[in-house]
Amino acid sequence: MTILVTGATGFVGTRLCAELRHIGRPPRALVRKESVTRDLEAAGHRISVADWETGAGLEAAMEGAEAVVHCAGGGRVRRRRDYWQQNTVTTRRLLEAIASPASTVKRLVLLSSLAAREPVSRYGESKKAAEQLTRDGSVPTAILRPPGIYGAGDDRLLPLFRSVKRGWAMVPHQHLLVPWLHVDDCVRAIIACLDSDLPSGTVLEVDDGQPRALGDILNLIAGLMDRRPPRVVQLPAPALYSAGAIAELGALLRGQSTLFNRDKARELLRKDLAMDASLARRVLGWAPQVALEVGLAETYDWLSTQGRLG
């Protein structure tokens, strides 16, 4: 089965391509013209390039492919309208190419998000709209909804590590249980979806089954760093929202994308984060294998070797 992976330069896409190659199913890696492909090239992946705004190159990239995993997109943006382009428009372009008469694609796996369940943010809305497009599309689609994905190779937990290092942390909820998923468990769930014949449109929540309060995660990190648990200050909602607005303005002025903005602040403030991965366990035979303690230790090692802890 030839598998096309979109967003192959991203955190999840890179790990997925590596694992597929490792298990003897070398994928085709789809990137953008502006993507940095050095690591994919060094790993020996076959690379295709497409323009997601126009769809140019997508049909050629899919030639002979039987399955597509749509990892392109995500929550790093310059402007909040970018969520729509990177999550919804890319899905539309993909489905248009899959609907072409020459397409051989028989299965799509959409990497959606917990944020799509009951959206409180533009990111969540863009993911939910992408999910709906696949339900209206012509190809059987499995929809995965992970929570925050972490592991070596990604820096989204860096603020927590830095907080421990400086001895104090500001968090929106100290005691609210937050679900997580290690990137390797996410990759295993994606591959299980590729190999399944689930009814089209099946939505699968996947998490590691051990939601943790942010306060507990900070304590775990403190243990790894051999530091005292940080002093935790609970940030009131208006302050978090203002911090999001400032981060957003900063990103715009620097011309860089950011994970944290007013949109993310809204997500951080939501209270219903309980997940249910029982369907994924039952129909995919999937089970998470990486405990948060192990995954955080790996993340700490990676951040340290990258010199990211300051």
d(CA 179, CA 150) in angstroms, rounded, equals 11
CB of 257 to ligand NAP, least distance (A): 8
Residue 146 interacts with ligand NAP (CB under 6 A): yes or no: yes
Hunting for tokens 């403190």 — which residue is that?
222
State which of residues 21, 25, 76, 227 lies at the interface with ligand NAP (CB under 6 A).
76
From 40-48, 143-151, 206-214, 240-248, span contacting ligand NAP (CB under 6 A): 143-151
Residue 179 interacts with ligand NAP (CB under 6 A): yes or no: no
Nearer Cβ to ligand NAP (71/129): 71
State which of residues 3, 5, 28, 52 lies at the interface with ligand NAP (CB under 6 A).
52
**158 with 303: CB under 8 angstroms?**
yes
Q: Is 9 exposed, middle or buried (0-12, 13-18, 19+ CB in 10 A)?
A: buried
State which of residues 48, 86, 121, 299 lies at the interface with ligand NAP (CB under 6 A).
86
Nearer Cβ to ligand NAP (238/255): 255
In SS3 terms, 44-73 reads as CCEEEECCCCCCCCHHHHCCCCCEEEECCC
Structure tokens at 294: 């192990």
Residue 111 interacts with ligand NAP (CB under 6 A): yes or no: yes
State which of residues 137, 148, 151, 179 lies at the interface with ligand NAP (CB under 6 A).
148
Residue 178 interacts with ligand NAP (CB under 6 A): yes or no: no
Q: Which of 297, 170, 154 is nearest to 221 (CA)?
A: 297
Residue 260 interacts with ligand NAP (CB under 6 A): yes or no: no
From 60-68, 99-107, 133-141, 145-153, span contacting ligand NAP (CB under 6 A): 145-153
Query: Strand, coil or helix: what is 293?
Result: helix
d(CA 68, CA 90) in angstroms, rounded, equals 13
State which of residues 85, 200, 202, 234 lies at the interface with ligand NAP (CB under 6 A).
85
d(CA 64, CA 108) in angstroms, rounded, equals 14
From 28-36, 194-202, 229-237, 266-274, span contacting ligand NAP (CB under 6 A): 28-36
Structure tokens at 228: 């005292």
Residue 124 interacts with ligand NAP (CB under 6 A): yes or no: no
Angle between helices 158-166 and 214-225 (to 10 degrees): 70
Dihedral angle at the C-alpha atoms of 119, 112, 220, 298, nearest 10 degrees?
A: -160
CB of 219 to ligand NAP, least distance (A): 22
Residue 58 interacts with ligand NAP (CB under 6 A): yes or no: no
120-134: string of b/e by CB count within 10 Å (b at 16+)?
bbbbbbbbbbbbebb
d(CA 157, CA 149) in angstroms, rounded, equals 10
Nearer Cβ to ligand NAP (234/257): 257
CB of 179 to ligand NAP, least distance (A): 10
Angle between helices 262-269 and 237-254 (to 10 degrees): 150
Hunting for tokens 């290092």 — which residue is that?
165
State which of residues 73, 124, 179, 244 lies at the interface with ligand NAP (CB under 6 A).
73
User: How big is the site for ligand NAP, counted in residues (CB under 6 A)?
Assistant: 25
Binding footprint of ligand NAP on the chain (CB under 6 A): 7, 9-13, 31-32, 34-35, 52, 71-76, 85-86, 90, 111, 113, 146, 148-149
